[in-house]
Amino acid sequence: MKPIEVDKLTKTFRGKRGRRIEALKELSLGVADGEVLGFLGPNGAGKSTTIKTLVGQIRPTSGKAMLFGELAGSTEARKRIGYLPENPAFYDFLTAREYLDLVGQTFGMDSAAICRESDRVLEIMALTEAAERSIRGYSKGMVQRLGLAQTLLHDPDLYILDEPMSGLDPVGRALVRDLILDLKLRGKTVFFSTHVIADVEAVCDRVAIIAQGELRAENAVSDIIAEGIEGYRVRLEQPPPPELQEYLDGELAVKTGDLYVPRHHFNAFMQQVDQAGCAIHLIEPRRKSLEDFFLKTIS
Ligand SMILES: Nc1ncnc2c1ncn2[C@@H]1O[C@H](COP(=O)(O)OP(=O)(O)OP(=O)(O)O)[C@@H](O)[C@H]1O
Ligand SMILES: [Mg+2]
């Protein structure tokens, strides 16, 4: 059974004066065992709506989502996931340890296991020092890290994380990247939404791109990156002669003299360079990035 199977999920909200907001339109998506899938999309695309449906916080208008073959939102399905909501909020009069205690109890863990696992997850999320302080005094990043800590407590097989890196400083972001890679090494499945393309590049096997409630693309990250070299940035030893100025790389290049040569022009370009008696100072391949792919996909 696949950890996540989404089949033609549709969600229509009723807005003000009965206005219909189609947050999801027949979205279908699968996540395989042991896979890390990044869920990318602009603000308002429907990422959180998808995630809330997966964890049973909202009901779809039509279509369905299954987790390990169980209907999303059912008790069986909920037990098997670690869920980080978009803006985690806690009873802030509790300490982190007391909060984790509560989480452990809802998952039916005994007190020895809760104690042991709390130590483990507080350590992973660098919260050991703050564990006995009430959450009220936590910074935004600490609250986010506690949110992540509680997803790990019962060591589930599937992690559904809504913007896990949000609100974190570079150290915290690196911590979460390492955490996701570590979960992957342990054979866990991770589905997370994000706006940060570099994070997708760093940890994901695949990326799914959503815009206006529709799935726009689903690709292996390695395929996108390996799509290859689009062209070359070239700098000559001297300012480019008139016959090479058609290759000037944008307006700024008039000053720098940087040239951009599309891949299929490269041989012809090199002949021209030779004929003009120019010398090359630098050649650098320019690859299609995940960012280009994302922007093209959502436009
Ligand atoms: N409870 C609700 N009532 C009415 N409309 C809603 C509700 N929740 C979400 N929406 C609408 O559904 C659409 C998708 O919202 P969603 O929160 O899923 O986007 P998102 O991709 O998570 O965006 P962001 O990147 O900003 O978090 C938006 O147009 C939003 O206004
Ligand atoms: Mg969201």
The CATH number of the domain holding residue 11 is 3.40.50.300
Q: Which residue's CA is minimally distant from atom 25 of ligand 1?
A: 43
* Mean pLDDT within 199-228: 90
Q: State the distance from the centre of ligand 2 to the C-alpha of 70, rounded, in angstroms.
A: 24
Question: 48-64 pLDDT, tens per residue?
Answer: 999 999 999 999 999 99
Summary mean pLDDT of the chain: 93
Please indicate, yes or no, whether residues 120 and 240 belong to a single structural domain of this protein. Answer: no
How many domains does the chain divide into?
2
Please indicate, yes or no, whether residues 264 and 159 belong to a single structural domain of this protein. Answer: no
Strands 81-84 and 158-162: parallel
Which of 9, 12, 13 is the best mutation target for the ligand 1 pocket, counting ligand atoms within 8 Å of the beta carbon and taking the most? 13
287 pLDDT higher than 80: no
Question: How far out from the chain centre does Cα 274 lie?
Answer: 46
pTM of the model: 0.84
Which of 21, 58, 193 is the best mutation target for the ligand 1 pocket, counting ligand atoms within 8 Å of the beta carbon and taking the most? 21
257 pLDDT higher than 90: no
83: containing domain: 4-225
| More reliable by pLDDT, 248 or 183 | 183
Please indicate, yes or no, whether residues 169 and 257 belong to a single structural domain of this protein. Answer: no
User: Tell me, what's the pLDDT at 211?
Assistant: 96
Read out DSSP for 180-192?
A: HHHHHHTT-EEEE
User: Tell me, what's the pLDDT at 155?
Assistant: 96
Question: 110-161 pLDDT, tens per residue?
Answer: 999 999 999 999 999 999 999 999 999 999 999 999 999 999 999 999 999 9
Q: State the distance from the centre of ligand 2 to the C-alpha of 42, rounded, in angstroms.
A: 9
Q: Which residue's CA is minimally distant from atom 3 of ligand 1?
A: 13
Q: What sections of the chain are H helices per DSSP?
A: 47-54, 75-79, 96-106, 111-124, 140-152, 170-185, 197-203, 221-226, 253-256, 266-275, 290-298
- The number of the ligand 1 atom at minimal distance from the alpha carbon of 52 is 18
Q: What angle do CA 95, 98, 104 make, to 5 degrees?
A: 140
User: Tell me, what's the pLDDT at 16?
Assistant: 83
* Mean pLDDT within 281-287: 87
Measure the CA–CA gap between 68 and 81, rounded to whole angstroms.
10
Measure the CA–CA gap between 285 and 232, rounded to whole angstroms.
4
- The number of the ligand 1 atom at minimal distance from the alpha carbon of 41 is 21
Measure the CA–CA gap between 127 and 65, rounded to whole angstroms.
34
Domain endpoint, select from 184, 208, 225: 225
Q: Which residue's CA is minimally distant from atom 16 of ligand 1?
A: 46
Q: State the distance from the centre of ligand 2 to the C-alpha of 165, rounded, in angstroms.
A: 13
Please indicate, yes or no, whether residues 221 and 233 belong to a single structural domain of this protein. Answer: no
Whose atoms come closest to the Cα of 18: which ligand?
Answer: 1
Question: 25-45 pLDDT, tens per residue?
Answer: 999 999 999 999 999 999 999
CB-CB contact of 218 with 277 (8 Å): no
Please indicate, yes or no, whether residues 149 and 262 belong to a single structural domain of this protein. Answer: no
Q: State the distance from the centre of ligand 2 to the C-alpha of 290, rounded, in angstroms.
A: 20
Please indicate, yes or no, whether residues 8 and 125 belong to a single structural domain of this protein. Answer: yes
CB atoms within 10 A of CB 75: 8
Strands 36-40 and 62-67: unpaired
Q: State the distance from the centre of ligand 1 to the C-alpha of 48, rounded, in angstroms.
A: 7
User: Tell me, what's the pLDDT at 48?
Assistant: 97
> For the chain, how many residues are written?
299
Please indicate, yes or no, whether residues 60 and 40 belong to a single structural domain of this protein. Answer: yes
Please indicate, yes or no, whether residues 120 and 16 belong to a single structural domain of this protein. Answer: yes
Q: State the distance from the centre of ligand 2 to the C-alpha of 87, rounded, in angstroms.
A: 9
Q: Which residue's CA is minimally distant from atom 31 of ligand 1?
A: 44
Domain endpoint, select from 201, 225, 249: 225
251 pLDDT higher than 80: no
Please indicate, yes or no, whether residues 86 and 189 belong to a single structural domain of this protein. Answer: yes
Measure the CA–CA gap between 220 and 147, rounded to whole angstroms.
28
CB-CB contact of 298 with 209 (8 Å): yes
Which of 11, 12, 48, 209 is the best mutation target for the ligand 1 pocket, counting ligand atoms within 8 Å of the beta carbon and taking the most? 48
Please indicate, yes or no, whether residues 89 and 217 belong to a single structural domain of this protein. Answer: yes
Please indicate, yes or no, whether residues 219 and 251 belong to a single structural domain of this protein. Answer: no
Angle between helices 96-106 and 111-124 (to 10 degrees): 130
User: Tell me, what's the pLDDT at 228?
Assistant: 66
* SS3 at position 261: strand
Which protein residues are within 6 Å of ligand 1, measured from CB?
13, 15, 21, 23, 41, 43-49
Q: State the distance from the centre of ligand 1 to the C-alpha of 86, rounded, in angstroms.
A: 11
User: Tell me, what's the pLDDT at 288?
Assistant: 73
Please indicate, yes or no, whether residues 106 and 164 belong to a single structural domain of this protein. Answer: yes
User: Tell me, what's the pLDDT at 114?
Assistant: 98
User: Tell me, what's the pLDDT at 290?
Assistant: 82
Query: For 20-34, 221-235, 265-279, which range has the lowest pLDDT when averaged over its residues?
Result: 221-235
Domain endpoint, select from 163, 197, 225: 225
Query: For 121-125, 177-181, 234-238, 249-253, which range has the lowest pLDDT when averaged over its residues?
Result: 249-253
* Distance spanning both ends of the chain, measured CA to CA: 34
255 pLDDT higher than 80: no
Tell me the percentage of the chain whose pLDDT exceeds 90.
Answer: 75
User: Tell me, what's the pLDDT at 296?
Assistant: 86
Measure the CA–CA gap between 53 and 79, rounded to whole angstroms.
15
Whose atoms come closest to the Cα of 58: which ligand?
Answer: 1
